[in-house]
Each structure stands twice: as structure tokens, then as C-alpha cells.
Amino acid sequence: MEDYTNKYKGEQVEIALFGGEYQDGVLTAYCYVEDVAHIELNGHILIPLQNIASLHCSSRCDAPEPDWPPSGLAEDEPDERDDEG
């Protein structure tokens, strides 16, 4: 599994949530809370990965698209890697 924590830790990101809301801040960690994968922003905002529609690294606008979703964090889902792009 690629470690996306080290890849984007400390980077400014914008997260689009399902339902049309957005969160932005500095990505401080990927972590598991009660076996559910979360992204942590600004050291205190936890967002479950299942609520995230997309992640944009605004401090690295040239980052390649296939970086989302992080591989290996969706372990409870079947291995569906359909590239829709």
C-alpha cells in the first residue's frame, strides 16, 4: 500500500464531500478510527473516507489524478479499479 500520509502531509487540500459540501485545510494524517479510515485536516478535523467524493491538493495543482482514492484504505470494498477517465 502506498503511504499517502507522507505524500500529502502538510499540503493544503480541498475535499469535496458527497452532498455538495467542501472542507479545506492542511492534511495532517490518514488514520483509522474504530476500523474506519479517516482523513485528518488541521490536526483536529476528522472526515471519514466514505464521505469524500474527491480530494484536490491545491498546493500542488500539477498532482496526477489517480492519487485518489488512496489504495489500500478501502479494504472492506471489493477490488474495483475501474478507471473512468
The verdict on residue 83 lying in a domain is no
Helix or strand holding residue 4 (H, E)? helix 4-8
Cell numbers placing 19: 452532498
Q: Indicate the number of domains in the chain.
A: 1
The verdict on residue 62 lying in a domain is yes
Q: Which residues contact 17 (CB under 8 A, 6 or more apart)?
A: 23, 47, 51, 52, 53
CATH of the domain at 17: 2.30.30.100
Confidence of residue 77 (pLDDT cuts 50, 70, 90): very low
Is residue 72 pLDDT above 80, yes or no? Answer: no
The verdict on residue 15 lying in a domain is yes
Per-residue model confidence as pLDDT tens digits over 45-60: 999 999 999 888 876 6
The verdict on residue 72 lying in a domain is no
Residue 73: Cβ within 10 Å count: 18
State the virtual CA torsion across 33, 53, 60, 14 in degrees, nearest 10: -80
Residue 49 domain boundaries: 4-67
Contact criterion met (CB below 8 Å) for 23 and 47: yes
